């Protein structure tokens, strides 16, 4: 039995170390326990190279903390469905900013390709929100939307609250475009719930309607 004691002790210590490491991996930088799903998870706040208002610039996402953030991932520039999505998002852009949110379109293309695409495509002429370059795919990987076989992000939209936590997520196949109006409705709903003192949104809720209060 004495000979087995060191072995048993080593096994117990290894188990404790592994458990501690796994638990540490569940803790976000803010100290909160990381949720099992993407909802409620805190996003990273990197610095991006971006194309915005005719210029190649750096955008530090952390500077937008305290605002609502829309992260609009799409597969690639110079494609068929993507310009229709970015055009529609541009049509609603003033509504998003009026609600207190900033919109970011994100792909793994470089900011220089973003610039060339906007210049080439008439559909993008009214795009005034930043187009971020996730060239390495690291941000896409962090949010679970990176398709490694293609080196691109899938179609995915996230609503991030002013504290940096994801309140809504949507994923679509490359062949299926999204609805910017519905994304705006979800943002309005998230804002209403945050302000609503415990109220929740029923199905089909739209801005101006009452929230459901739990009894």
Distances (CA, A) of 206 to 3, 29, 183, 203: 70, 34, 12, 9
The pLDDT value recorded for residue 32 is 62
The pLDDT value recorded for residue 36 is 83
Q: How far apart are CA 99 and CA 119, in angstroms?
A: 29
State the pTM of this model: 0.83
The pLDDT value recorded for residue 20 is 39
* 82 given a catalytic annotation: yes
Torsion angle (degrees, nearest 10) of CA 84, 148, 43, 189: 40
H/E element holding 13?
helix 4-25
At 160, list the tokens: 């991030």
What is the chain's length? 215
The pLDDT value recorded for residue 17 is 42
At 34, list the tokens: 């990381």
Q: Per-residue pLDDT tens, the chain, 215 aa: give them.
A: 555 554 444 443 444 343 434 344 444 455 566 668 899 999 999 999 999 999 999 999 999 999 999 999 999 999 999 999 999 999 999 999 999 999 999 999 999 999 999 999 999 999 999 999 999 999 999 999 999 999 999 999 999 999 999 999 999 999 999 999 999 999 999 998 888 767 888 888 888 788 888 76
Domains of the chain are 47-195 (3.40.30.10)
Q: How far apart are CA 2 and CA 168, in angstroms?
A: 56
At 130, list the tokens: 């930043």
The pLDDT value recorded for residue 31 is 57
Q: Select which of 59, 69, 82, 101 is catalytic.
A: 82
The pLDDT value recorded for residue 207 is 82
């Amino acid at each position: 039995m004495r000979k087995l004691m060191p072995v048993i002790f080593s096994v117990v210590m290894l188990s404790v170390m592994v458990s501690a490491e796994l638990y540490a991996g569940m803790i976000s930088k803010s100290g909160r326990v990381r949720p099992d799903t993407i909802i409620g998870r805190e996003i990273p706040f990197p610095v991006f190279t971006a194309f915005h208002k005719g210029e190649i610039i750096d955008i530090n996402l952390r500077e937008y903390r305290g605002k609502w953030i829309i992260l609009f991932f799409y597969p690639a520039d110079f494609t068929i469905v993507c310009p229709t999505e970015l055009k529609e998002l541009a049509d609603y852009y003033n509504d998003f900013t009026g609600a207190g949110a900033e919109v970011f379109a994100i792909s793994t293309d470089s900011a220089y390709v973003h610039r060339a695409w906007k210049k080439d495509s008439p559909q993008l002429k009214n795009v005034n929100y930043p187009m971020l370059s996730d060239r390495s795919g690291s941000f896409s990987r962090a949010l679970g939307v990176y398709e490694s076989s293609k080196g691109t992000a899938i179609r995915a939209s996230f609503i991030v609250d002013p504290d940096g936590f994801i309140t809504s997520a949507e994923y679509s196949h490359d062949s299926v475009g999204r609805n910017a109006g519905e994304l705006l409705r979800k943002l309005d709903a998230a804002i209403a719930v945050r302000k609503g003192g415990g109220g929740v949104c029923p199905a089909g809720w739209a801005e101006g309607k009452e929230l459901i209060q739990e009894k």
